[in-house]
Amino acid sequence: MSLFSFEIDPQKVLGVATDASLEQIRDAYRLKAKRYHPDAGGEDWAFRIIVQSYEMLSRARVARAAHAEQASDRPATPPRPKAERPGESVHIGIHDKNVPPSRIVALELLCVRFLWDEADYIWITQRAPDEERFLSCSLNLCWPDPGAAGEQPAQVDPAPVIDALRQVFEQMSVTTRVVSSRSRVGDDRFEGWLSYSNFDRAWKAVSSIHQLLRDRGLGLRQWSRDMFIPRATR
């Protein structure tokens, strides 16, 4: 479902050594995130890679520390098994199957969420405001839909579709509580990025985009991607 699919070397991305501590990993992540976060003018795809690299390295570092502690000679109470929480989850959402594939717009709702330890995870994620739980909420639009490659029965004139998407994007940028927005047109392709301060606003924006597209004879294929990163891990 992702618009990007390739392997990354998280150590090279963050510029840390194999034996880097959690503090070093966090510091490297913060420096990179500050530079490449879309709200600071960075590219969305680059920020995704940085977040995923941080999640991979921090989880691996915690796992190594836990293994070393269990292997030590000092008496210790066997640790209680923890439920495995994935670093990423994807959920299929809206799909207008009654619209021709050539008029379908792909939209990913990407939420980067904080992970909390043990009971705090359940308690805080239920009661804390979105700003305490989410690092980033963004909508990533793309036309033509990459997921419809090879399915389009006939060519479509891109100019009217791109013009309609420009109108939709401009309206969303003005009428919704967007933090930042960017769009790009090239090679008969439209790409747009909208950032919101919390999940509720981002999800309402999805509904608004869907209606605006339907009003213009376009359809939507939407999915949600949650990426989890540890918070206050020691």
Mean pLDDT value across residues 33-38: 80
Local confidence band at 148 (pLDDT 50, 70, 90 cut-offs):
confident
**Average pLDDT value for the chain:** 76
In this prediction, residue 37 carries a pLDDT of 79
The 3-state DSSP composition of the chain as helix, strand, coil percent (nearest 5) reads 45, 25, 30
Q: In the chain, what are the domain boundaries?
A: 10-71, 88-230
Please list the alpha-helical segments (H only) found in 81-197. 118-127, 130-133, 158-175
166 vs 33, more confident = 166
**For residue 136, how many C-alpha atoms fall within 13 Å in the half-sphere facing its CB?**
26
Mean pLDDT value across residues 207-214: 97
Structure token digits, residue 182: 């960017």
Residue keyed to tokens 């479902």: 1
Residue keyed to tokens 């090239």: 186
Q: How far apart are CA 196 and CA 183, in angstroms?
A: 15
Mean pLDDT value across residues 190-203: 89
Q: Which uninterrupted H or E stretch holds 108?
A: strand 104-115
181 vs 159, more confident = 159
Query: Tens of pLDDT along 159-170?
Result: 999 999 999 999
β-bridge partners, 154: none
Mean pLDDT value across residues 132-158: 74
Mean pLDDT value across residues 15-28: 84
175 vs 48, more confident = 175
Query: Which of 156, 197, 158 lies closest to 176 in space, CA to CA?
Result: 197
Rounded to two decimals, what is the model's pTM?
Answer: 0.61
Query: Tens of pLDDT along 99-121?
Result: 999 999 999 998 877 655 443 44
Q: Which residues of 90-111 are buried (b: 16+ CB within 10 A; e: fewer)?
A: eeebbebeebbbbbbbbbbbbb
In this prediction, residue 138 carries a pLDDT of 85
Which long-range contacts (C-beta less than 8 Å, at least 24 apart) are formed by 26-33?
A: 26/54, 26/58, 29/53, 29/54
Assigned CATH class of 10-71? mainly alpha
The angle at the Cα of 201, spanning 196 to 205, to the nearest 5 degrees, equals: 90
For residue 46, give every residue at least 6 positions away whose Cβ sits within 8 Å of its Cβ, in sequence order, or none.
36
In this prediction, residue 164 carries a pLDDT of 97
Structure token digits, residue 105: 């717009």
Residue 20 has pLDDT above 90, yes or no: no
In this prediction, residue 205 carries a pLDDT of 96
Q: Which residues of 136-156 are buried (b: 16+ CB within 10 A; e: fewer)?
A: bbbbbbbbbbeebeeeeeeee
DSSP state at residue 150: T
Local confidence band at 136 (pLDDT 50, 70, 90 cut-offs):
confident
In this prediction, residue 67 carries a pLDDT of 52
Local confidence band at 65 (pLDDT 50, 70, 90 cut-offs):
low
